[in-house]
Structure 1
Amino acid sequence: MEFTIAPVSKADYMEIITVWEKSVRATHHFLQEEDIQYYKPLILNTYLDAVELRCARNAAGIAGFVGVAEHNIEMLFIDPEYRGKGVGKQLLDYSIKMLHADKVDVNEQNEQAVGFYLHCGFEIIGRSALDSSGKPFPILHMQLHRQD
């Protein structure tokens, strides 16, 4: 499948938050409904504006998106309809090459994401017991392993 990687504008935010929610519901089984409702306005009203956003887009719309700040991938979410079709890898490669990302924080309980980043050359360099909101969702700190 062909996707264009493009900047995200505020006009795209409602489609972005829809992709986020569908992705979270498909992959973050450790979250309760109240957790999703807690994070959703934070993502929409605060976090999207705090990162450099790019999306993978095709004729049907946005298939996934990535947000990078200070060389850290802060968010990478794929519409479940497009999971396993290379969208995540395409966005990750773009964020590494074009946005100079080399770090990512991943929910430890999201085993698929942890496996994805390990497969793509990241290694675990640390762990936090709480997420950035102080909630008890452990975070793995990962860094791209560079071979010199």
Structure 2
Amino acid sequence: MLVTPQVATPADYAELAAIWTRSVQATHHFLAPADRDDIQRHLPEYFDQVDLYKWQVAGQTVGFSGTAGTELVMLFLDPPYFRHGYGQAIFHALMRKPGIQTVSVNEQNPGALAFYQRQGFQIVSRAAVDEAGRPYPILNLERQA
């Protein structure tokens, strides 16, 4: 499966935010609507803080990723592309870059946790709240050699 990356620019933010919204609605049922809306409002700021890529198949954007140093900060797929190998293809392409060693996931998102554990990550710590102090526990994972 050929999934190709393109550096995302601010012109792509609306498309990526729409993918984020659909993905979160499908997987983050635990988020209160007000919290989801607040996060969505801040997406452009978050996008500006990472090396942001949109991932395409035959010209269609299927998802996006953001990395910062050795951390995979975000990886979201549009729901029609769930469970078809696109996430794994993107992940393996990202791993060809040196250094992705850590990722954090919401504890209430067992699908994401299982995905990263299948990729060789293990839980190394837990935070009771997310980075904004909201009541969504975060699991910090590291890739095991």
User: TM-score, normalised on structure 2?
Assistant: 0.94
Whole-Å separation in 2 of the counterparts to 1:99 and 1:55: 19
1:85 alignment partner in structure 2:
84
Deviations 1:25-47 (A, max 9, x none): 00001012111101001112x10
1:54 alignment partner in structure 2:
53
Deviations 1:54-79 (A, max 9, x none): 12112453111110012111111000
Does the Cα contact within 8 Å between 1:56 and 1:87 map onto a contact in 2?
no
Change (3 A) 1:40 1:99: farther
Q: What stretches of structure 1 move > 6 A for 4+ residues in a row?
A: none
Whole-Å separation in 2 of the counterparts to 1:113 and 1:88: 10
Shift of 1:85: 1.2
Does the Cα contact within 8 Å between 2:3 and 2:90 map onto a contact in 1?
no
Shift of 1:95: 2.0
Map 1:1-148 onto structure 2 (within 5 A).
1-44=1-44, 46-59=45-58, 61-98=60-97, 100-146=99-145
Whole-Å separation in 2 of the counterparts to 1:4 and 1:85: 15
CA RMSD of aligned residues (A): 1.3
Does the Cα contact within 8 Å between 1:7 and 1:54 map onto a contact in 2?
yes
Question: Percent of aligned positions with the same letter in both sequences?
Answer: 37
User: TM-score, normalised on structure 1?
Assistant: 0.92
Structure 1 unaligned segments of length 5 or more: list them: none
Whole-Å separation in 2 of the counterparts to 1:62 and 1:130: 32
- Paired residues in the alignment total 145
Whole-Å separation in 2 of the counterparts to 1:74 and 1:32: 21
Shift of 1:94: 2.1
Whole-Å separation in 1 of the counterparts to 2:51 and 2:98: 8
**DSSP 3-state at the match of 1:85:** coil
Structure 2 unaligned segments of length 5 or more: list them: none
Whole-Å separation in 2 of the counterparts to 1:2 and 1:69: 24
Does the Cα contact within 8 Å between 1:20 and 1:78 map onto a contact in 2?
yes
Does the Cα contact within 8 Å between 1:107 and 1:138 map onto a contact in 2?
yes
